[in-house]
A and B are shown apart, each in its own frame.
Chain A
């Protein structure tokens, strides 16, 4: 990809159509159903080019919720490693940012940044869909 015009096209495509992968690393499911809400007719993120992918190998952005439980830790790392570069991580919800109400539990690591490099933190318990869209768009502006 040596030609600058080709690089510009790829960058434009990446910014206009990020594919997301959602993983719940141990959360209560509140943020996860709000992430699924993004696909439904009221919020409809597909009009922004965001598509929810099934496999880590096709995804650009990892939307991670939940305070990372010990059992989920290795699986989360493996999912992150399976994603092709360039990749970004958005920590959605208070639990993914810092552990939330579960911080201090015996089975909880306390936030995704204990394990992976996080690019955007979107707080909330649960996080509203509007805040999630704002978080993804903030990331895309930084990507430029």
Chain B
């Protein structure tokens, strides 16, 4: 994977002054973006580079924000990272560019209560139909055993 070329490409397309790049194991590079630029970045990757394979989208509740990581792979790993504030977790869907992201976005929507604007079918994927417990991966969610012990 040609990382300098990809950085150059993203710099052209996005209105940010400097891209924050980190290196992670194993053979992974992560680029932090604001949530509004995510769709344009993914479009640029698909249309103007060899990167097309989205491995998955990870969602996590960290440092008071909901962070989304889009893991791509093309000979090496490339992660696009973006953070959403807890009060307003909504981001544009990328299913119009990558239909395969549909299940990943549905899972994050139910596990972390994130709205993907424009997703064709944001129904429950894994949680049961009668689930009333709130998003399980958010920080405030407690497991049944923890609730008993913590009292």
Contacts and interface: CB of A to CB of B under 8 A. Distances in A.
Q: Is chain B in direct contact with chain A in the complex (CB below 8 A)? A: yes
Interface of A: 69-71, 104-107
B128 A71 contact: yes
A105 B128 contact: no
Interface residue tally on B, bucketed by range? 10 to 19
Given A104-B145, A106-B136, A106-B143, 5 more contacts: A70-B130, A71-B128, A106-B141, A106-B144, A107-B128
Contacts of A69: 128
The 4 closest A-B pairs by CB, nearest first: A71-B128, A70-B128, A104-B145, A106-B143
Residue among A104, A105, A106 with most chain B CB within 10 A: A106
Contacts of A70: 128, 130-131
B3 interface: no
B86 to A, nearest CB: 21
A70 B132 CA distance: 12
Contacts of B128: 69-71, 107
Contacts of A106: 133, 136, 141, 143-144
Contacts of B97: none
A12 to B, nearest CB: 43
Nearest to A71: B128
Contact of A104 (B127, B131, B141, B143): B143
Contacts of A105: 143
B140 interface: no
Nearest to A110: B144
Nearest to B148: A104
B148 to A, nearest CB: 10
Contacts of B144: 104, 106
A114 to B, nearest CB: 13
